[in-house]
Amino acid sequence: MRILLIAVLVATGVFVGAAVPAVSGFIQGILASAGLAPSRLSASVAAPTASTTFPSAGPTQGSGDGHNHGKPETKGDGHAHGEHAHSEAEGEEGHIKMTTEQIENQDIKVAKVEGGAISRHILVPGTITPDTDRIARVPARVVGTVAEMRKRLGDVVQKGEVVAILDSREVADAKSEYLTASVKADLEKTNFDRQAALWDKRISAESAYLNAKAVYAEAALRQDLARQKLSALGLNAAEVAKLAKQDETTPNTSTLRQYELRAPLSGRVVERKVDVGTTVGGQGDPSDLYTVADLSTVWIELSVSTSDLAKVREGASVTVTPGREGGERKEQGKVIFVSPLLNAETRSARVIVALPNRDMGWRPGTYVNAELEVSRDKVPVRVPKSALQTIEGRRVVFVRTDEGFEKREVELGRSDDDAVEVASGLKPGEEIAIANSFLLKAELGKSEADHDH
């Protein structure tokens, strides 16, 4: 009996000794397939030996053939896949995927990069004045009385148009003298022609012919002098003779004393100095009836200090804006004169700017601000300031790609009020976002935040 008990115990020990390593190896295979290292197994479980045979537990996750072959397996190629995913994330950094429809819906404007000019300006206050080359007075060239004023203040006139009529004895005398001289000259010419014909036939004496010739020459000279006098008064001899013939048929409407005043240029009547019945042209009398100005172009008078004067040049472009309460209007003018003389009191020079005024919106006497262009440099790459954004302390632009936009760092050079030179980072012909580029910056920041998360 004792011998039987010992045999049972020995058999049991052998069975347990053989079973425990098998169970331990089986557990190790399952844990390894779950991603746990064999070292994490309990120390109380013995590691299998190379000669130990493990029972099959069926195919495990991650094994290709259903057998473990004594080695723990990972899920596919986990480590290699992790590196590939990281590489893709690096490739997408700085890129924004966006369709053409999305770009249009967000009103992101795109334009090609081009070269251009970088301009620098100085701001100088000024005053609008009439262009002195386009302002004229209508003078009373003769002594007389105003008989008719045909234009009112503010009326538009054309060059050569009759604006007033004077009643002048001086004019009547000049016209009468010319008409008389003309009649006398015609009579003497007739007499001279007859004496010349008789002399050719030797019917009359030579003395009669020579006397007729001298008298005709004198009459012609008087007529010429009378014509020059009319011309000095601004009258046309042919018109005077024509009107004299009309007066013969209508004696009650004599034009002998009438003197027409005409506008010297086209423009508007900006000043009316006399009324009907006023005596003009004499000593102490008004010398002008109207002032006419062509305000389609006006001048701006500027006072530029000596420190800026060396930068100002004739022909430079000028941007003119109204004063404090003049609205948002803007117009381009040009410097036409830079005075070589300095004002002794202000130590500044007079600068004149010609400014178009087609709608008559720039009124003489108005205060304006003028931005004078003092330098202009050509640059190969010029972009508007609205295209620039700052990301992590660096200036960037967003370049259009097939899939959307790409963030591009750029180095900047010279700048003016509207644009900046790009020294490196862009080439002419590339397309960039020039309006609402801040939306792309926000979208890029959102994408990077999602990636980090």
State whether 45 and 105 are in the same domain.
no
**Cβ–Cβ under 8 Å, residues 277 and 137:** no
* Distance, CA of 85 to CA of 121 (rounded, Å): 53
Q: What is the pLDDT of residue 354?
A: 95
Q: What is the pLDDT of residue 452?
A: 57
CB neighbour list of residue 418: distance below 8 Å, 6 or more residues apart: 384, 385
> To the nearest whole percent, how much of the chain has pLDDT over 70?
76
CATH number for the domain harbouring residue 413: 2.40.420.20
Give the mean pLDDT of 156-171.
93
> To the nearest whole percent, how much of the chain has pLDDT over 90?
38
Residue 451 burial (CB < 10 Å; 0-12/13-18/19+)?
Answer: exposed
State whether 5 and 64 are in the same domain.
yes
State whether 72 and 102 are in the same domain.
no
Number of domains in the chain: 2
* Distance, CA of 393 to CA of 98 (rounded, Å): 25
CB neighbour list of residue 381: distance below 8 Å, 6 or more residues apart: 113, 114, 115, 421, 422, 423, 426, 427, 428
To the nearest 5 percent, what fractions of the chain are helix, strand and coil? 35, 35, 35
**Cβ–Cβ under 8 Å, residues 230 and 178:** yes
Residue 340 forms part of a structural domain: no
pLDDT band at 184 (very low <50, low <70, confident <90, very high): very high
State whether 105 and 35 are in the same domain.
no
**Cβ–Cβ under 8 Å, residues 72 and 420:** no
Least confident residue range of 382-391, 420-429, 442-451: 442-451
**Cβ–Cβ under 8 Å, residues 389 and 122:** no
Residue 68 forms part of a structural domain: yes
Q: Which two tokens stand for residue 69?
A: 């072959």
Residue 366 forms part of a structural domain: no
**Cβ–Cβ under 8 Å, residues 312 and 338:** yes
Residue 21 forms part of a structural domain: yes
Q: What is the pLDDT of residue 5?
A: 44
**Cβ–Cβ under 8 Å, residues 213 and 188:** no
Q: What is the pLDDT of residues 405-415, one digit of tens each?
A: 988 999 998 88
Domain that holds residue 408: 98-113+378-452
State whether 396 and 436 are in the same domain.
yes
Residue 102 forms part of a structural domain: yes
Q: What is the pLDDT of residue 289?
A: 94
φ, ψ for residue 330 (rounded to 5)? Answer: -145, 140
Residue 398 burial (CB < 10 Å; 0-12/13-18/19+)?
Answer: buried
Q: Hey, is 66 helix, strand or coil?
A: coil
Least confident residue range of 136-150, 206-220, 232-246, 280-294: 232-246
Least confident residue range of 20-34, 139-153, 431-445: 20-34
Residue 418 forms part of a structural domain: yes
Q: Which two tokens stand for residue 356?
A: 């178009």
Closest of 372, 360, 426, 291 to residue 121, by C-alpha: 372
* Distance, CA of 313 to CA of 389 (rounded, Å): 35
How many residues comprise the chain?
453
State whether 102 and 32 are in the same domain.
no
Residue 281 forms part of a structural domain: no
**Cβ–Cβ under 8 Å, residues 179 and 223:** no
Residue 227 forms part of a structural domain: no
Phi-psi region of 9 (alpha: psi -120 to 50; beta: other; left: phi over 0): alpha
Residue 297 has pLDDT above 60, yes or no: yes
Closest of 376, 375, 367, 368 to residue 312, by C-alpha: 375
Q: Please, how many CA atoms are within 13 Å of residue 269, restricted to the half-sphere of its CB?
A: 23
Residue 20 has pLDDT above 60, yes or no: no
What is the value of pTM for the model shown?
0.55
